[in-house]
A and B are shown apart, each in its own frame.
Chain A
Amino acid sequence: MPASDVPPITEHAHVPHSAGATVSQYDDVWLVIPAYNEGQVIADVVEGARETFPNIVVVDDGSSDNSAEHIATTGAHLVRHPVNLGQGAALQTGLKYALAQPGARYFATFDADGQHQTHDVEKMVRVLRDDEADVVLGSRFIEQNGQVPWIKRVVLRTAATVSPTARKLKLTDSHNGLRVLSRKAAEQLNITMNGMAHASEIVGFLAGSGLRVTEVPVDILYTEYSRAKGQSLINGVNIIFDITMRERSR
């Protein structure tokens, strides 16, 4: 939902009802949201997502702003890294937390800046429920929606085309933050790249895991906020470096 439609954060400060008390068809789904300095929007994003998904764990990755306070006003579970470790580390922590919760069967990684939409997650969970796959990845490129800035489109398409692992899985978008994993897949996944290289690491893991991977078209809301927070393309250089050094440091 666009940020302008949502009421200010303070109105969300309600008494959170106990997790799992409300009966929802998504009681077995856990949303994992890594957050780093997202105080401006995090409460709205979490409350918006909680309208559909009752179980959410937000990993505050050592934010220096008031993210944790805002998350605490919501009904989401909060896990705080004592120091900033990076998005990959936050995802792994969140997955580990969610895996330990009773009744958790599906695990979705969801961005904190409001660029992902819950109806896409519903669509992806449905694929898993029908047992058509073990892992469902969001793709911006299956249906051309023209929302992706053209330079980003070129770079991301190139990344998906030149990456041998992405090719093996026939992926069109290897760097989408929206993913839904079955319990089997989430238990196997172990993200060691703390920074932004985890996206490539996940694709690499999936390619070698024998899990059934499929892509589902999703809409990404490129808001002013998410554009400003999003990765710059030059960071791709860092990602390539991290990946090449990975094998050496094991």
Chain B
Amino acid sequence: MKYFWIQLLLIAGSVSMALMFIRTWGQAKNRAWKRIAFSLFVIVNVYAVLRPTDVTWVAHQLGVGRGTDLVLYVMVLAMGFLTLNTFLRFRSLEKKITDLARTVALSEGARHNDARLGAAVAPVVAETVVAEAVVAEAKPEPADSDSVKA
């Protein structure tokens, strides 16, 4: 009973995290392996909280002194991975925003300069960006294009 409260707290945290994840199950188009990894993570979490001595046993097998130390090392690794993943995600998002903003800026610019300068301002061909974006969006869901046809 010595560890009851801390175990309760940690398990509650794991379970609520799992619930949050399940709630966004449908919206987030996570890949299957990410879901599996997460489910495993939650299970291992609960197990480790209930039987901390087992974690220590694993730590000993790997040449680490205590179970908590092993958890810490794994966490540092996971943290680094997450940071990199987030960084790359932001980069790709930034690229999309740039393409979008550029397309808007060029089409708006051509229109306004035409009116303001009174010259025939050549329309900037921005279709390539739009076309690429449409193709990229359409790919994961071929069902959409079918429904349009029907």
Interface residues of A (CB under 8 A from B): 16, 18-21, 59, 72, 75, 77-83, 85, 89, 92-93, 96-97, 100-102, 192, 194, 245, 248-249
Is there contact, CB below 8 Å, between B109 and A79?
A: yes
Assess the A19–B97 pair: CB atoms within 8 A. no
Whole-angstrom distance from the CB of A95 to the nearest CB of chain B? 11
Inter-chain CB contacts under 8 Å: number: 73
Look across to chain A and name the residue whose beta carbon is closest to the beta carbon of B102. A93
Min CB distance, B46 to chain A, in Å? 35
Q: Check if B35 is an interface residue, CB within 8 A of chain A.
A: no
Contact (Cβ within 8 A) B98 A77? no
Instruction: Tell me which of B97, B102, B105, B119 has the highest count of chain A C-beta atoms within 10 A of its own C-beta.
Output: B105
Q: Which residues of B contact A (CB under 8 A)?
A: 87-88, 91-92, 94-95, 97-98, 101-102, 104-106, 108-110, 112-113, 116-119, 121-125
CA distance in complex: A97, B110 (Å): 8
CA distance A82 to B98 in the complex (A): 10
- List, in ascending order, chain B residues with CB within 8 A of A248's CB: 88
B23 to chain A, nearest CB (A): 30
For A21, the chain B residues whose CB sits under 8 A away are: 119
Q: Is B105 a contact partner of A93 (Cβ separation < 8 A)?
A: yes
**Nearest CB in chain A to that of B95: its residue:** A192
What are the residues of chain A within 8 A of B91 when measuring CB–CB? 245, 249
Residue pair B117, A85 in contact (C-beta under 8 Å): no
Which of A19, A79, A80, A194 counts the most chain B CB atoms within 10 A?
A79
Given the known inter-chain contacts A97-B106, A249-B92, please indicate yes or no for A77 contacting B121, CB distance below 8 A. yes
CB-defined contacts of B116 to chain A, threshold 8 Å: 16, 72, 78
